[in-house]
Amino acid sequence: MELGAGAMGMAQRRITEGSWRGLELKISQKGLYALQAITTLGRRYGTETIKIRDIAIDSDLPEKFLELILLELKNARIVESVRGAKGGYRLRRAPEEIKLSEIIRLVDGPLAPFGDADQLRSLITTDPDHRALYSVFLEVRDAAAKILESTSVADIVGGASKSRKRPKQKSKKHLALSIVHKAAKSK
């Protein structure tokens, strides 16, 4: 089913008006470019500086836009620049010390796809008809924030993804059964 221009406009207005205002995707193209540039710098951490042109080519990013992003990262003391023939950019800190959340917050503001936590908590309080929905959004926001806050540039550069290699956790029911089983065995 395809929406006409009028229906599409009404749907967009509904989403942006009232209590839904501000609940849009928060990781911008600029944020993605910043993460890609940081990843390139992280892969070459501990070696020479990297020229903007080389970062742009390696990360497939527009060079002029990358200059602005690197300046923002430099002002936030995440990267540093070196002048001269062997000049370029490098990370100021080890990749293990730079969390993805830090980059996204710097470039895009609050984390995660559903706005900031305070805004969602306010909606939970002020919109009782949609309280359960906003509670789910807050849980999603908190889960996304937790992942981004615990994932470093080193994790990305090393190819490790916490979602790929997560140890299996026993369910509460299974955990309770194993405790009961252990207690019965010891008697």
Give domain status of residue 39, yes or no: yes
Stated pTM of the model: 0.66
Give domain status of residue 63, yes or no: yes
Tell me: the pLDDT tens digits for 24-61? 446 789 999 999 999 999 999 988 899 999 999 998 99
CB 145 within 8 A of CB 92: no
- Give me the half-sphere count of Cα atoms (radius 13 Å) on the Cβ side of residue 105: 14
**What are residue 185's phi and psi, to 5 degrees?**
-65, -35
Which CATH number do you get for residue 65? Answer: 1.10.10.10
Tell me how many domains the chain contains: 1
Rounded to an integer, what distance in angstroms lies between the CA atom of residue 52 and that of residue 88? Answer: 7
Range(s) of the domain holding residue 41: 26-109
| Nearest alpha carbon to residue 108 among 148, 137, 50 | 148
